[in-house]
Amino acid sequence: YWYGTLNERRECLATCIWRSREDALEAIKLPKHMIAAKLAHQMYDFYELEKYWLFFSSSQIYFQKIHGATKLY
């Protein structure tokens, strides 16, 4: 998990990376994640969830966006 600071457009590009969908589903049940999720609507004007597949080769990292991002207000 990485949580950055606001940029000049007041965006915060927080990032979570899990090894699998199953790991992600387990992680969202953890107490700190649930607290953060409940606070998001109070802290931000809006937020958008984007999902990517992350692939590794011997020399590069590839990101493939999963279509159907969720915009929440």
pLDDT single digits (tens) 11-54:
877 788 888 889 989 998 999 888 888 887 787 777 788 888 88
pLDDT at 69: 55
Residue 53 pairs with which residues in a beta bridge?
64
Residues 50, 15: Cα–Cα separation, whole Å: 10
Is the confidence at residue 67, as pLDDT, over 70? yes
Buried b (16+ CB within 10 A) or exposed e, 9-43: eeeeeeeeeeeeeeeeeeeeeeeeeeeeeeeeeee
Q: Which residues pair with 66 in a beta bridge?
A: 51
Mean pLDDT value across residues 50-64: 88
- pTM of the prediction? 0.60
Task: Identify the pLDDT of residue 6.
Answer: 78
